[in-house]
């Protein structure tokens, strides 16, 4: 499991946190996010896989209050057999 640079309360609205698989031969098997701070202060707009090279998990939020609240994307990857 790898994590991404978190979205912080200082970021612009709609900023995304994207966690990528470490190897281009890996495939996303799951993912999610962690909120540090009050959950009612964050409106997560999306938490979804991204089919790219490398595969990734994308999380974006449009409200981060109060200062110090962060949202971090996490991705779970697996090696594709035969690749």
Please state, in angstroms and rounded to a whole number, the distance separating the CA atoms of residues 5 and 36: 13
Which residue from 83, 58, 64 is spatially nearest to 5, judged by alpha carbons?
A: 58
Give yes or no for residue 63 having a pLDDT over 70: no
pLDDT at 36: 84
pLDDT tens string 32-41: 998 887 777 7
Q: How far apart are CA 2 and CA 13, in angstroms?
A: 24
Indicate the pTM of the whole model.
0.77
């Amino acid at each position: 499991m790898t994590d991404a640079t978190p979205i912080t309360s200082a970021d612009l609205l709609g900023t995304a946190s994207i966690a990528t698989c470490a190897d281009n031969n890996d495939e996303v098997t799951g993912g999610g996010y962690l909120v540090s701070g009050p959950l009612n202060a964050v409106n997560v707009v999306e938490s979804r896989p991204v089919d790219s090279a490398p595969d990734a998990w994308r999380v974006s939020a449009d409200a981060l209050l109060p200062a110090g609240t962060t949202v971090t994307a996490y991705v779970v990857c697996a090696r594709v057999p035969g690749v």
